[in-house]
Structure 1
Amino acid sequence: MVIFLAWTPFQTGLFNGQMLDFERPIFWAAILACGMGVLWFAAYFKQVRLEDQRDWLAVAVLLLPLSYVVSLAGAASHYLAMNMVVIQGVQAILFITGLYLLRHPVGNRIIQAAMMAVSYLIVGFGLLHWFGQGKTAGAIAQWFSNTVANGIYTNAVMTDSNGLRLTSVFQYANTYAAFLMAFLFAAVFFITSSRKAYAQAFHSFMLVPIIVSLLLTLSRGGLVMLPVAFVLLLLFLKPAQQILWMVHLGVAGAASLLISKPVTDLGLQLNESFSGSGALKGWGYVLGVSALVGLLGWAIQRYAAPVLENAFHKWSDRKGSTLWIPIGSVVLGGLLIALFIGTSLKNLLPDNLNTRLDNINFNQHSVLERFTFYKDAMKVVGDYPIFGAGGGAWAALYEQYQNNPYTSRQAHNFFLQYFIEVGIVGFLIFMSFILYIFYKYIRGYFKSGEAQQRSHFLYMIVVLSILLHSILDFNMSYVFIGILVFLGLGGMAAAMDHQPVTRLKLSPSTAKGVYAALAGIGLILLLITSIRYVQASSAALDARQVAKTSTSFEEIKTALEKDLKIRSSHPDSVLLLSSLYSTAYQQTQDEGFYSQLIALLNNALEDEPYNKAMLSRLMQAYELKGQQDKAFALLTSHAYKFNWDIEWHEKIINQAFELGYQSLGAGALDAKDKYFREGIATFRHVQEGVEHLKTLPEGQMQGRPFEITPTMILNAGKMNYMINEPEQASSVLALGLQEDLSQPLQQDIAAWYMAALQKQEQGDPDLMNKLKQVDPTAEERIQSWSQLQF
């Protein structure tokens, strides 16, 4: 039987699942990573002895994806958790590859050059969008990205309450700021460590585009964490190098600030209305000043650097010599911040950046909101302490634990989010792994010579900068950023001094067998999973495309079933297929479609118990059959998961009244009381929530709307009245009384309020007169209600 559906899928909101758009590139990255793993086996397997501490790190890193596998047992979302298992596998492969490849000078130089080249291309890509040349950038990006819409890369310049903010490829300004911070320091490092004049000039040239881009992100977190990372990195440099870093950043920073205002204004104009001459002018500012700074950078290295090296040569050998300049830089930085925030010097900055600097304080809404996220995150940890709630747990669970109705699928702290996902066990493994690498790298760094120190310092810069910023944001949720960090950790581990493990002695053949069993099996499983997930994601995307043009039930269903055979609870496909079954049932009344609809949703909800869209779809399915009691039971039993969803609570109150009133009419008084009391309890929950929101600190935003509506007041008051609680009914209905009684809803609230007063042998003559003016039958209705017995 061929069925054609009369439906409008776009009106149901089925095609706004952003995760589906991004997941396929993740799985392709996993497949490529597996290919790298195979090449690693071919190139380095003979070198594995498990006698060196570095080799054992290649084993230890496997515990990270394993901890995510263990957390699957209690995962809040199997779909998100499995995605994180794949991502962790990719990061482990990149770490192992870096650990061995980056020991070799040639491989190390190639990787470092590639990292710097990619970072500079990303900076240029972002500035193209800032100067309104998104079409040009989009023409390049469309070859390797599916986020190009209408010829322009989506959200390379984002808009929020602060106006336009530069994001480049990351589509999120704060993560771009973390990336820029890391590669700003990387550029300065290469200026001061390179021996070739063209390298010094080129890296100096790139300082201005990086700093200007950093300013255009308007990231307060970036501006706060930049000096912290800078001071920590200075501790690894000799005094002469410390001064050179400060000079290069000072020169580039001053030059960038001088052009920041015109560059910002031009970008704002060009994103509103493009002009070729305006774009040319913007590029003229950036490239002209960059060329000047590039020349100065070369001159500083050519003439000033040797003088500083000679002047500070003896001082460098003194104990504690590396501390004085960082301490001085903290004092100097504090003075500069005070000048820019507290004096007219801030007028040199663009207005939008000026405003952002003024708002750097602990009472600013984004700071208060982050503190709230962190407190709520610890509530989740309290309920999932040992092995965590699985990958993506915060996104699945935060509505249940949130203090107020904010919307944030990220906890804005990588470490807390990791803790939520894998619990105490996984978090201790991760932190031990990270801290051990830092400890061994730092210890070896200060024992080694200058050439060896320089060889892997880029990785330390990148890892330290990004992880520091990740205390305030979710940078590691980006697979690209995670790859950078784990490749960097591999580079740091590669620089560790060779130190044998004396207590664990294995023969070469045993070592290879152990490692082949651990890494090989993991690699095969990851490859198979990634291939299948690419197939599932491709089928889901195909189904979306088919549904846009076809009304054939079988054609759309066939595409969806290809996905669901692999990932049975893939949310987008479950929702789309459930919509198909629902529409088919309504058009044909075939019970088979209804049975498949219920089975599909119940099966998916076993893996996705916190998926609000699936729960809502199941309630709609029950309502299709007139099973209002089942829909209501589902609504109330899952209400705790969505504490601040006012629509969910309003629906409970309204349905409680409808079902209770039906039970009253049928003479089922126990059922009537049960429904009414559930509705009244929900109304009180909403009242308590509204009162709680009044206690939020001044400056913290509430988030989504959460307030008592007139309909909720009317139904809650009527329910109190019908369980013979007239005093509570009158107090509830009084909340909805208004001077204007022209609307029927307001008239009903006032009339029921008067009935509740009469039950208490009280009255309100003025209100009665107002009611009678707009509704001559009001008094008769009130009298009849007051005489009802329940």
Structure 2
Amino acid sequence: MSKPVYGKKAAESRKRETRSALFWVLVAGIILFLAWTPFQTALFNGQEMSFEKPIFWASILSCLLLFLWIAHSFKSIQLKDQRDWLAVGVILLPLTYLISLLSAASQVLAMNMVIINCIYATMFVIGLYTLRDKLGNRIIQNTIMTVAYLIVGFGFLHWFGQGKTAGAIAKWFSNTVLNGTYTHAVMTDSNGLRLTSVFQYANTYAAFLMAFLFAAVFCITASRKWYGKAFHSFMMVPIIVSLLLTLSRGGLVMLPVVFVLLLLFLKPAQQLLWILYCGIAGIASLLISKSVTELGLQLNETFSGSSALKGWGILIGISAVVGLIGWAIQSFVAPKLDKILGKWSSKKGSSLWIPIGSTVIGGLLIFLFIGTGLKNILPQNISVRLENINFNQHSVLERFTFYKDAMKVLADYPIIGAGGGAWASLYEQYQNNPYTSRQAHNFFLQYLVEVGILGFVIFMAFILYIFYKYIRGYMKGTEEDRNSHFLYLIIVLSILMHSILDFNMSYVFMGILVFLGLGGMAAVMEHKTLAKWKVKDSTARGVYSVVVGLGAILVFITSIRYVQAADAAMEARRVVQVSTSYEEIKAPIDKDLSIRPSHPDSVLLLASLYQAVYQQNQNEDFYNASVGLLNKALKDEPHNKAMLRSLIKTYEMKQQPEQAYDVLIQNAPKFNWDIEWYQDIILQGYELGMKALGTGDHAKKDEYFKHATDAFAKVQEGIQHLKTLPEGQLQGNPFENSPEMILHAGKMHYMMNQPEQAVNALKIGIQDDLSQPSAQEIVRWYLAALQKQGQSDEALLEKLKQADPNAEQNIKQLAELQF
């Protein structure tokens, strides 16, 4: 007997209510995720162990959101149109990182990057479907803007010296609060104090501010409520002032570029309004920038409640004025402007004239601020940064060097790349000069190095296809359609454009914003139904849900285990500070390594533990354990210098200098500009050669001396190369000869019966002041080498005699030595 009709309706109603409840739980989850993530400062640079755990937690939360989405949207999954197939295409992005594990320079960093790209793919898929709902889309957009404004306020709390207050708030969200203060929310470098807010890096904060400056302008023009227009206008001044306080030249350079690109999407009336709002807020910001800067510099040195209150008063007061002006313009001027320019807007190409004009005006303003005295209205630290914007400035030249070096890496790993974290692992092998930079300062080149040409082509095709289809749909859509998801275009375009110059996408939060934004763009892009697609909806959704669900379960379990491993690693670090117990220290390390066998931090800690015990009791089991652990880990992390140094130390403890020297020689090409590595090769090569000479093994002596003198020759080549760097480019780390290197290289050439090479090497180290014994010894060997060639330097000999009365006799003895 069939059920009554009203029973079926009730069941359907319950299903709808369940799906609706799941949807809003999903939206709430996205909101909490977006609010929590920025305070984790999840910068993926392969250096800070404390940054790993937030990444893994973000992965766990994103998987939970994906499970919620599958539960809610299962029946709506239909791979019928082009938008739906993007949900399949995005899976290729983490897959390319997974493939790159085959040739990864660092298995640990590469695996971390696989997980990060799974987070991005998840956020894209959720955004693609969730942001089609009008109310859900509006809530997410409001959340994004709220989080952005909170980050701006968070930055000013630190700028005005109220870091303890901000830290008391952030400690509930973040593990980067130390001594009650969020770490490096105001950073210090050679330019002085720079505002960074939650990002701890000024240039990325500048990229973020640029995106949300334009987002605020858009929200002014799109808001229907008076308080929305006023509040978004109000926030423009804090955003612009914050941008100035970052002292980011890249941000100031890319700002007008992105602004002009966004203007091209707008009608002439809207273009004029955008220019007007930015102009008003910009002028207001410049008027208070000097006082806000000076107050911040004082308050970060010595806090004063009255000065902080004054700073807030200036900032809020001028922002309120701009907010009122913005509300008035949008309420009364904007409608009239739209009517006046209505006919012009309908003409073909009308949207081009104002962007072209703004480009000219922008160029003029740049000239005025950089090339004239107008820059004097700015604070000194900001005006100095503006003066230094040129292609001969050291940071520009250094970036070009990074880019060239990245192409060298690509040449050796062309197809599938060198895995996630490849640049951080490999840059020392390919660098042009001895800089230190674990980021390539270009997201696209860094991505290319990590996944190779195959992965990069897939990524760029994915991105460009979304932009192409979104723009086509935007051009054909109504005003309401255009405004509904334009915020996502602003965010994605701003961050990606700035990422040409910096490593913004190494911040997981920024990556989440970009991929959620791409999902939002794809949700409303122009699309077509795939007519040739013959698979049943139920089959398509079943296969897709199973594949995605199983992948999410695998990532979920892996992330949980990695969180446990990260906790164990941190526990080991804590225990080693308070305990000397071998068992207590080893237990958490073993837990980490049982999950991540080659995790560098724990490998190094356990190796040092084995070494310490071996030194105490000379039990060879601990020596063998240290060597075995390091050699095994180095198979996955062959470019980890700290592990190699630890292995060398282990061999030296066992009085096995030959094995230690082999490690130095075999790995020297990985660290072409590490002067300490070369120095160790030269000095230890000399010692081993002398040891072989003492045993009568002349072949072995020559072998060691050859390795050492070759290393010395490479140092000389490097020194000469550094002289060819452009005038404005910084060299980086020191790379120069030491007296010990020169002396030992000269002696080795001499003892290999190469007097000419000995003269050339020793001549480098001759000094005017011969009071030091090392300086005298260099001259003695130099003069002996000259004598071997039948030459002399009487003036230098007389000078040496003044410091060493027995100089002539000592030189004669050296000249008579036979090797």
* Band of TM-score, shorter chain: over 0.9
Counterpart for residue 44 of structure 1: 73
- Unaligned 5+ residue runs, structure 2? 1-44
What is the DSSP-based 3-state SS (H/G/I as helix, E as strand, rest coil) of the residue aligned with 1:698? coil
Alpha carbons 1:168, 1:176 under 8 Å: kept: yes
Q: Which position in structure 2 is the counterpart of 1:9? A: none
In the TM superposition, what whole-angstrom CA distance separates every residue of 1:270-327 from its partner, at most 9, and x where no partner exists? 1111111111111111000000000000010111111101101111111111111111
Q: What is the aligned partner in structure 1 of residue 82 from structure 2?
A: 53
1:582 maps to 2:611: yes
Cα distance in structure 1, aligned partners of 2:527 and 2:690: 78
Q: CA deviation at 1:21?
A: 0.8
- Written as runs of structure 1 = structure 2, the 5 A alignment for 1:615-630 is 615-630=644-659
- The answer to whether the 8 Å contact 2:428/2:671 transfers is yes
1:170-569 equivalences under 5 Å are 170-569=199-598
**Alignment-mate amino acid for residue 125 of structure 1:** F
User: Aligned-pair distance for 1:748?
Assistant: 1.1
SS of 1:548 mapped into structure 2: helix
Kindly provide the amino acid, as one letter, of the partner of residue 336 in structure 2.
Answer: V
Alpha-carbon distance in structure 1 between the residues aligned to 2:458 and 2:200: 31
Distance of 2:166 and 2:255 partners within structure 1? 28
- Cα deviation, 1:223-244, whole Å, max 9, x if unaligned, reads 0101010001011111111111
Q: 1:29 matched to which residue of 2?
A: 58
In structure 2, the residue corresponding to 1:272 is in which secondary structure? coil
Give the distance between the partners of 2:459 and 2:786, measured in 1 at CA. 64
Q: What per-residue deviation string (whole Å, max 9, x for no partner) do you get for residues 187-218 of structure 1?
A: 00000111111000000000000000000001
Per-residue deviation, residues 362-399 of structure 1 (Å, max 9, x unmatched): 11110100000000000001100000000000000000
Q: Distance in 2 between matches of 1:124 and 1:54?
A: 37
Letter in 2 for 1:487: L
Q: Does 1:100 align with 2:122?
A: no
1:718 maps onto 2:747 in alignment: yes
TM-superposed deviation, 1:780: 2.8
SS state of the match for residue 610, structure 1?
A: coil
Q: Which residue of 2 aligns with 1:632?
A: 661
**Partner residue of 2:193 out of 147, 164, 167:** 164
Give the superposition deviation at 1:498: 4.4
1:125 paired residue among 154, 159, 167: 154
Offset at residue 17 of structure 1 (A): 8.7
Q: Equivalents in 2 of 1:87, 1:434: separation in Å?
A: 17
Q: CA offset at residue 751 of structure 1?
A: 1.1
Distance 2:134 2:674 in 1: 57
Task: Assess if the C-alpha contact under 8 Å between 1:387 and 1:424 holds in 2.
Answer: yes
For residue 764 of structure 1, report the CA deviation from its aligned partner. Answer: 2.4
Whole-Å separation in 1 of the counterparts to 2:84 and 2:46: 41
In 1, distance between residues paired with 2:46 and 2:323?
45
1:85 aligns with 2:114: yes
SS of 1:159's partner is: strand
Aligned twin of 1:114: 143
In terms of mean alpha carbon deviation, does 396-405 or 272-281 score higher?
272-281
> Does the aligned pair in 1 maintain the 2:132–2:523 contact within 8 Å?
yes
Residues 713 and 733, structure 1, Cα contact 8 Å, conserved in 2: yes
- Number of residues paired by the alignment? 775
1:761 to 790, 794, 799: 790
SS at match of 1:94: helix
Aligned CA RMSD, in angstroms, stands at: 1.1
Residues 686-765 of structure 1: pairs in structure 2 closer than 5 A: 686-765=715-794
Looking at structure 1, the residues matched to 683 and 581 of structure 2 have their Cα atoms a distance apart, in angstroms, of 37
What is the alpha-carbon distance in structure 1 between the residues aligned to residue 338 and residue 793 of structure 2? 91
Displacement after TM superposition at 1:621 (Å): 0.7
Amino acid at match of 1:323: L
Matched residues in 2 for 1:17 and 1:408: separation? Answer: 12
Give 2:812's aligned residue.
Answer: 783
Instruction: Give the counterpart of 1:653 among 657, 682, 688.
Output: 682
TM-score normalized by the length of structure 1: 0.97
The amino acid that maps onto 1:668 is D
Report the 3-state secondary structure (helix = DSSP H, G, I; strand = E; otherwise coil) of the residue aligned with 2:188: strand
Q: Name which of structure 1's ranges 633-642 and 489-498 shifts more when overlaid on structure 2.
A: 489-498
Mark the runs of 5 or more structure 1 residues left unpaired by the alignment.
Answer: 1-15
Identity of aligned residues (%): 69
- Relative to structure 1, is the Cα distance of residues 675 and 789 closer, same or farther in structure 2, using a 3 angstrom cutoff? same
Q: Say whether the 8 Å CA contact 1:166–1:173 is kept in structure 2.
A: yes
**Structure 1: which amino acid aligns with 2:473?**
G
Residue identity in the other structure for 1:721: Y
- Say which SS state the counterpart of residue 164 (structure 1) adopts: strand
Kept in 2, the 8 Å contact 1:690–1:706? The answer is yes
Q: Does the 8 Å contact 1:51/1:505 carry over to 2? A: no
In the aligned structure 1, how far is the partner of 2:574 from the partner of 2:662? Answer: 36
> Is contact 1:186–1:462 with CA below 8 Å preserved after alignment?
yes
How big is the shift at 1:774? 2.7
8 Å CA contact 2:472, 2:526 repeated in 1: no
Contact kept in structure 2, 1:17 and 1:572, CA below 8 Å: no
Q: For 1:748 and 1:272, how far apart are their aligned partners in 2?
A: 51
Cα displacement string for residues 135-155 of structure 1 (whole angstroms, at most 9, x for unaligned residues): 111111111111111111111
Does structure 1 conserve the Cα–Cα contact (< 8 Å) formed by 2:221 and 2:229? Answer: yes
Asked whether the 8 Å contact 2:107–2:636 carries over to 1, the reply is: yes
Q: Equivalents in 1 of 2:476, 2:289: separation in Å?
A: 42
- Give the counterpart letter for 2:720 in structure 1: E
Deviations 1:685-741 (A, max 9, x none): 000000000000110000000011111100000000000011111121111011111
Which residue of structure 1 aligns with residue 26 of structure 2? Answer: none
State the SS of the aligned residue for 1:789.
coil
**Once the 2 structures are TM-superposed, how far is the Cα of residue 517 of structure 1 from its aligned partner?**
3.4
Following superposition, the deviation at residue 19 of structure 1 comes to 1.9
State the AA in 2 paired with 1:709.
S
Query: In the alignment, what sits opposite 1:12?
Result: none
| More displaced 10-residue stretch of structure 1: 767-776 or 567-576 | 767-776
Q: Which amino acid aligns with 1:520?
A: G
Distance 1:596 1:253 in 2: 63
Answer whether contact 2:59 2:556 (CA < 8 A) is retained. yes
Letter in 2 for 1:484: L
The Cα shift of 1:340 comes to 1.2
